[in-house]
Amino acid sequence: MTTLTPGIWKLDMSHTLIGFSVRHAGISKVRGSFNDADATLTVGDSIADSRVEAAVQVASFDSGDENRDAHVTGEDFFDAAQHPQMTFVSTGVEGTEEEFTLTGDLTIKGTTRPVTFDVEFGGATVDPFGATRAGFEATTKISRKDFGITWNAALEAGGVLVGDTVTITIDAAFVRSED
């Protein structure tokens, strides 16, 4: 595993997964992803001096079901027409280069809340085409209600259709920009 060198790194979306899971009907989970995002990782001389800025296109929501995707990107959930992007801007990094927490401001549907990701650095390497790449795995849990996403339906047997806790899992690949 090569260390992460200081500089500007850009997200390689073709080798990245921005995934989520949420409890459905109290008995299973719905999983899916967002398939369009941009992010810049600025690596400082130490991990604490690094930062991330990201924007995810809400319309790229994909749960594998077109009807559900249309509902979730509509007014009841994300309201992509009025809020086309979710954004994350980091405010702090703590830990080692291999494992750290990344804290920042997550904005969804016009509401900004602090969020902390647990991050594991997978390593860095030069690919056969000469590009320097780095990989990360990041996870967090959020309350969708904290971001104004409150739609739900009661179940006949009790409980609700959509859980409040959303698990976000990101497997990200970044490519170092030429200075």
Domain containing 20 — which CATH number? Answer: 2.40.128.110
Q: Which of 3-7, 46-50, 143-147 has the highest mean pLDDT?
A: 143-147
Q: Quote the strand ranges of 6-110, DSSP E.
A: 7-11, 17-24, 28-34, 37-43, 51-57, 61-62, 85-95, 99-108
pLDDT beyond 70 at 14: yes
What's the predicted TM-score (pTM) here?
0.92
Domain count for the chain: 1
Res 169 pLDDT > 60: yes
Question: What gap in Å lies between CA 86 and CA 64, rounded to an integer?
Answer: 20
Task: Give the domain range for residue 139.
Answer: 7-176
Taking 70 as the threshold, does the pLDDT of residue 82 lie above it?
Answer: yes
Q: Please indicate, yes or no, if residue 68 is contained in any of the structural domains.
A: yes
Distances (CA, A) of 170 to 19, 22, 26, 121: 6, 15, 24, 12
| CA-based nearest residue to 108, from 81, 78, 82 | 78
Quickly count: other Cβ atoms within 10 Å of residue 161's Cβ.
13
118-142 pLDDT, tens digit each: 999 999 999 999 899 999 999 999 9
Please determine, for residue 2, whether its predicted confidence score (pLDDT) is greater than 80: no
- On whether residue 2 sits in a domain, the answer given is no
Q: What is the pLDDT of residue 179?
A: 53
